[in-house]
A and B are shown apart, each in its own frame.
Chain A
């Protein structure tokens, strides 16, 4: 990690392979997803995280990167001795996928430097080299020809062909491919191809239940337990409207925003209105219904 100290501004700049999580990202497990992920990591199985927006997929992957990178003590069962494993930070490289994401955007390209050419690795290549967790966010958005590129990385080969340079890159031990996917109401043209999706094991996420969500909201936004509880209740109620006028319920992320707004002195009703009812829908009737729920829950 390098921190460049200027005379006035202080900002942090990382080489992407060096971005590791030092402090524990807050994550409350809902079920056995942590064990599943750890098992997948040790068995080098790529993981697909499915779930609605804002339910904590990205936070989970951050948490896992941190968890896998911290020093762990494993106790060997039969022999009775304990083994100390050194903390080896696992870098996390996140790639936001979009329609124009090309293969060279992932793998790398030549650049001109003066009269010289210089090869520069793309983020995927760097992840492969550094043995990082590579997280492809919203994979369905990427072009289909791009997604095919990752195929050799996902099976037993664990290789990344770099065509331009005529190289084949063998992935480092710690390398893991992860992607997120939001199923549901999507365009028929944007579906994940089976040849791609069947290369991943999938962990399904959903919004946590009221209690857990209240804890999350309370921790992330710093509101009182009581308000967090109310926010979680609101979240649950609004999610009940999914498919009845709402495409997606209010995400945990939105609830956290509300909590933060409240912390800044915005009145709870107003905060909910702006960060929930206006955020999730443009339909006036639905907005009003949500507002009624809000006014019932908050004074």
Chain B
């Protein structure tokens, strides 16, 4: 290499133009920094590169171009080393060398001089002489400036090692990972190292996941706090080392879950996760995934306790522990429940349902609010409680206080208030009932209105559906409540006032009647007061309503009030005070509303300046009713100052709702109940004021109880939907499209008696309760043997219910000794019967022939019971058992089986749980347990299933005939019990009775097990009156009783009380609240009834 400069210049001169140009530019800029000799060496290197074979000119150009920057950082010798590294590369591939030199400008500043050679080698290590490897290697060089900026050299080395490993599997994969890494490292910053470590582990164990893992990083970046990212990756690495697969999914799901957790809690979560043994990697994954759900219920500190329990389980029972962290075990659920301060309605529902029933004295159901909202009949809030007069809707969760007990009591307060509406008669308002505490003004007011209808000239702030000034008297009133609100031009104001007065009255009654609850009630009221908006910020009219609301919450002192209206405020306080009395009724609230409305409606709704506010105490000196009325009249006569010109009267907005009082809609509730009542007695009222859909819509348009937001938009269709939903809710037959609301077209039977021609068919009469007579030979019962299936079901059920079977067996065995009666006066026996001995001695002394029956013995008294079980096999038994209580209202079920199936399918679609048991499955299981029990005591029994389709086709399936002895065949038949068609109970019962009649047993029983009301095609009057079916069934049961058979109905239909009360009256019936209890309950019930 000892060529002279001239030689070099000649060679340079031969270089192609671009290289020469690059050389010249570089020389100009490096001349000052390097000595001549160094410059010479530098140039020589460049020429050497250029002279290498095949397309090395590019590399040389890049070499020259990079030099000015590179030499800033390197000494002359290092510069030459750098050049040598490059030229070595160039020998392998000029492209590589070019990339190396090109990247040098950006890379060298980040590297120590001695690392440069290594760097070049790294690149070369990726090169395998193929085109793809060259791309990878080139990309690596290109990427190095960025990589070096964020990674240490050793990290880069490791990263390259990773790429090399990957490249052995797939070049594309390696290239992609490089690209991904390039994007990620700047963002990951110091945690890049952790990612590389993780990827390295993965590359060795399951290389396919590496890419997924890289791809998951952006999610991690957005969801996981910066300080925890490294921890997360290192955790993943440890899991990977201990054999976890699918790390990519772990990272992405974990990240998503962490994103839903409060950022402050993430660290805590990692503390916990790191304590889990690495071998149970799934538990770690489950912990992360479950964390949002867990933390939404308990605090991070409480989570620690929950975690400890799980850890304990995990250590001795890995599967159990895993289920625990997956939130799939009841232990876990219980632990959460115990720790959480929130009260879930689902858990308290059963207790509260009974509580509310007890209070209301009516069949009140408890349902989460979301079901009410889903009905779309006017209530829109999922967080506020409500009632429609028969059902109390409660928020799904209460978590206001820190202690669970407090939250439960709060829920109790909420439900007590709602039930109060029912118990203290909020919905019983009747326009004609006189009030107790006020002279009545409703009627004169109504009379005034009909003479001079109140023009709705006043700014109708609230109602966004302005109706033409219709004289209310002309309109038929649908509800008394609606009629009452029609007395007021400003309906919304009237409703707000009525709500406040009525709620105030209820609160008073509840506190007076339930002293045990009053402390908490008071506290809830006080809390509600602190949540009220600042009264001083309100315009005058709203302020007065708010004043009333606060009065109703029992704020008695220092109530802010515009000075101008202090007299009115005092009068309002006096009126409201009169409602706080045990005799006050809903009509009193109404009268109070009239008086308060008159005061408030006259007040202009304009802002009141800060200095114009005064305070009022609610405790006013006693005043007699006459004085009060006098005062009110005076105030009414007082001319209210007209709105000051500079002041704009504002539109009236209702004060915000009070949480615990929920959403009070008296008019809607009355409407629903009147619709329901109307439905109940459709026949009589057919020609009367039958509510048409139009009337309903008009009423709804008038009502201010519908949230404005929901009515706006397309008022017509919205209202139509409301009207339809309400009718459906009330059980009015829903119209089929196009048919309108006319009487349902019903397919009439030809009404001819039927004849049983085929073998095994039987005809029975049917009872028509309207006619008060039987329809002769009306139904054909076809008795068929049930098909035979797999006997395994029988064995399986016995196994699955082993504990119940054991219990039932014990119970039934106890029947046996009971049947061993001590029989006295026998000739031969276990011992002397003392009474008989004494008697015989007496007889002898009296000179009478003594009896020789002196012994007693235990004798087996033949238990003489014959029983028939009738299983409902209607299509509805295919219904899955929903854990959450779902009020099943069958009233709107279509009559025709074809339609019914569609309806049923639609209904079933609503359910979310799919793979739970169906009712029929429980019926089948009950059958098994029952047979097992009955066989042990030797009662005569038959088990039948029934279904059908129309009166000429009542199917009566024999599972075990009463005369048949139990065997393999019966076992097989049980398996084949399936849901079929409809339920025509009457004929089935009659047929069962005819079978029992032939039995000679002293006690005869018939059990009817059903899941709902009877229904079938044509099993009603005029297609609508489903009472018909109930009455026919009742008649069939009565017939049974007359024949000395004791019928008993067992139903799993929770809403069964209404029709069973009619159907069974004085006969026994039971409603199983918990369907799943059927298999264990049925045998026990049987035992109870026959002992």
Contact = CB atoms under 8 A, between A and B. Distances in A.
Interface of A: 109-112, 115-117, 185, 187-189, 230, 233, 236-238, 240-241, 243-245, 269, 285-286, 288-290, 292-299
A288 B354 CA distance: 9
25 contacts: A112-B842, A115-B845, A116-B845, A187-B1088, A187-B1090, A188-B1046, A188-B1048, A188-B1089, A189-B1003, A189-B1090, A241-B354, A241-B358, A243-B1057, A244-B354, A244-B357, A244-B363, A245-B1073, A285-B350, A285-B354, A289-B350, A289-B352, A289-B355, A290-B354, A297-B513, A299-B519
B738 interface: no
B184 interface: no
Interface string B353-367: 111011111110000
Residue picked from B358, B359, B1005, B1068, most chain A C-beta under 10 Å = B358
B410 to A, nearest CB: 13
B358 A290 contact: yes
A244 B1074 CA distance: 12
A292 B361 contact: no
A240 B360 contact: yes
B517 interface: yes
A110 B840 CA distance: 11
B512 to A, nearest CB: 11
Which 8 residue pairs of A and B lie closest in terms of their CB atoms, listed nearest first? A289-B354, A188-B1046, A296-B514, A237-B358, A240-B361, A296-B517, A292-B355, A117-B842
B838 interface: yes
Contacts of B842: 110, 112, 117
A163 to B, nearest CB: 13
A236 B516 contact: no
B1090 A188 contact: yes
Given A112-B841, A292-B412, A297-B513, A189 B1091 contact: yes
A111 B835 CA distance: 10
Nearest to A294: B516
Contacts of A241: 354, 357-358
Given A187-B1090, A245-B1073, A285-B351, 4 more contacts: A112-B841, A285-B354, A289-B358, A293-B355
B513 A117 contact: no
B1089 A187 contact: yes
Contacts of A295: 516-517
B582 to A, nearest CB: 11
A61 to B, nearest CB: 25
Contacts of A297: 513-517
Contacts of B838: 110-112
Interface centre among A188, A244, A286 (most CB of B within 10 A): A188
B845 to A, nearest CB: 6
A98 B1080 CA distance: 31
A24 B928 CA distance: 59
B839 interface: yes
A187 B358 contact: no
Interface string B1049-1091: 0000000010000000000100001000000000000001111
A244 B357 CA distance: 8
A286 B354 contact: yes
- The CB with the most chain A CB atoms within 10 A, among B359, B516, B839, B846, is that of B516
A269 B354 CA distance: 18
Contact of B357 (A109, A187, A240): A240
Contacts of B175: none
A117 B355 contact: no
Given A188-B1046, A240-B357, A296 B516 contact: yes
B108 to A, nearest CB: 78
A230 B515 contact: yes
B416 interface: yes
Contacts of B416: 296
B553 to A, nearest CB: 20
A238 B358 contact: yes
A188 B357 contact: no
Nearest to B1045: A188
A40 B733 CA distance: 53
A237 B360 CA distance: 8
A263 to B, nearest CB: 18
Interface in B425-450: none
Contact of A292 (B351, B515, B1046, B1068): B351
B845 A117 contact: yes
Contact of B351 (A188, A243, A289): A289
Given A188-B1090, A245-B1073, A296-B416, A233 B513 contact: yes
Interface string B825-851: 000000000000011011001100000
B354 A245 contact: yes
A112 B838 CA distance: 7
Contacts of B362: 240
A230 B512 CA distance: 10
B887 to A, nearest CB: 15
A257 B834 CA distance: 42
A27 B419 CA distance: 34
A298 B1088 contact: no
A289 B415 CA distance: 13
Nearest to A246: B354
Nearest to B846: A117
A45 to B, nearest CB: 24
Nearest to A269: B516
Nearest to A285: B350
Given A110-B839, A112-B838, A240 B358 contact: yes
Nearest to A226: B515
A232 to B, nearest CB: 11
Contacts of A244: 354, 357, 363, 1057
Contacts of B1091: 187, 189
A276 to B, nearest CB: 11
A292 B1003 CA distance: 42
Contacts of A236: 361
Contacts of B361: 236-237, 240
Given A285-B351, A288-B351, A295-B516, A240 B359 contact: yes
A14 to B, nearest CB: 26
Nearest to A100: B822
B160 to A, nearest CB: 67
Nearest to A249: B358
Interface string B940-968: 00000000000000000000000000000
Contacts of B1088: 187
A289 B419 CA distance: 15
A231 B517 CA distance: 15
B285 to A, nearest CB: 37
A182 B362 CA distance: 24
Given A112-B842, A285-B350, A188 B515 contact: no
Interface in B332-389: 350-355, 357-363
B1061 to A, nearest CB: 9
Most buried by A among B515, B841, B1003: B515
Contacts of A240: 357-362
Contacts of A185: 1068
B1086 to A, nearest CB: 10
Nearest to A288: B351
A294 B357 CA distance: 14
Nearest to B519: A299
A286 B351 CA distance: 7
A4 to B, nearest CB: 29
Contacts of A298: 515-516
A299 B1089 contact: no
A112 B840 CA distance: 11
A58 B416 CA distance: 37
Contacts of B841: 112
A220 to B, nearest CB: 22
Contacts of B412: 292, 296
A159 B1065 CA distance: 38
A250 to B, nearest CB: 11
Contacts of A233: 513
A117 B845 CA distance: 8
